[in-house]
């Protein structure tokens, strides 16, 4: 299974039986989506920086909320979470997704804006790979993101939704999260191949470079 970061909260997750695109963005994000096709598109919430399913070709199945989905041999489990600390009263609902592909479980938290409850953590705590927002403002800040990482305890952590030279929303820089989690001298990678049998023995923070 191979993971590519396309910018913001958008990833391409490609397995043997199909491809998933998470939270595709429109031009307001500052990133360029390019020409993409997929079998599945997951949308965490209804915002232009996260819901541009129309930009993905291939007639994908679009998943927009909680539930269990089995598509093209890929299992997707959507968990209701919130975009803020007041159970959605400020910014609305958010869906976090646990995606099982090639025996690897990838959790995409979307625009999570709070520390999940014990019940919510229980639904996603067996994630091998965690895709987590760290840029603050409308999502988790660095300190809270580290708290969530420790609760979920994945093998691999990939930060997303932070300030880059392309992003238009004002977000915190990645350095805040890396300092908070105690990681130094990280070299961004363009792609990440993940094999269930070769997961790290200790949690690894992977910073990804996005396609320009």
Domain that holds residue 19: 2-185
Structural domain includes residue 193: no
Structural domain includes residue 92: yes
Structural domain includes residue 27: yes
Counting DSSP H helices and E strands in the chain, the numbers are 3, 15
- Give the closest residue to 61 by CA, choosing from 77, 45, 42: 42
Structural domain includes residue 196: no
Query: Strand (E) positions, 52-183?
Result: 56-57, 61-63, 67-71, 74-82, 93-101, 104-108, 129-133, 156-160
Radius of gyration of the chain (CA): 15
Walk along the chain (212 residues) and give the pLDDT tens digit of each residue: 999 999 999 999 999 989 999 999 998 888 888 899 999 999 998 887 888 899 999 999 999 999 999 998 999 999 999 877 877 677 778 999 999 999 999 999 999 989 999 999 999 989 999 999 999 888 899 999 999 999 999 999 999 999 998 888 788 999 999 999 998 888 999 999 999 999 999 999 999 998 76
Kindly report the CATH number assigned to the domain that includes residue 162.
Answer: 3.60.15.10
Q: pTM of the prediction?
A: 0.94
Q: Structurally, how many domains does the chain consist of? A: 1
Q: Using alpha carbons, list the distances in angstroms from residue 191 to 14, 93, 163, 206.
A: 11, 30, 20, 10
Structural domain includes residue 142: yes
Structural domain includes residue 96: yes
d(CA 210, CA 126): 26
Structural domain includes residue 16: yes
* Diameter over CA atoms, the chain: 42
Structural domain includes residue 192: no
């Amino acid at each position: 299974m191979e993971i590519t970061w396309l910018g913001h909260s958008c990833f391409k997750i490609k397995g043997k039986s199909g491809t998933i695109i998470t939270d595709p963005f429109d031009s307001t994000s500052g990133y360029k989506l390019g020409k993409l096709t997929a079998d599945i598109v997951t949308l965490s919430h209804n915002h232009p920086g996260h819901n541009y399913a129309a930009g993905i070709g291939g007639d994908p199945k679009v998943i927009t909320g909680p539930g269990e989905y089995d598509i093209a041999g890929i299992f997707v489990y959507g968990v209701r979470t919130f975009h803020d600390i007041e159970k959605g009263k400020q910014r609305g609902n958010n869906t976090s997704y646990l995606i099982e592909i090639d025996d690897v479980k990838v959790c995409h938290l979307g625009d999570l804006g709070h520390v999940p409850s014990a019940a919510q953590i229980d639904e996603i705590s067996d994630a091998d790979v965690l895709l987590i927002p760290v840029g603050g403002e409308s999502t988790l800040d660095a300190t809270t993101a580290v708290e969530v990482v420790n609760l979920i305890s994945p093998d691999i952590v990939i930060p997303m939704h932070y300030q880059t030279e392309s992003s238009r929303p004002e977000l915190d820089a990645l350095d805040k999260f890396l300092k908070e989690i105690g990681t130094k001298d990280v070299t961004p990678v363009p792609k990440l191949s993940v094999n269930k049998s070769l997961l790290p023995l200790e949690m690894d923070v992977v910073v990804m470079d996005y396609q320009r």
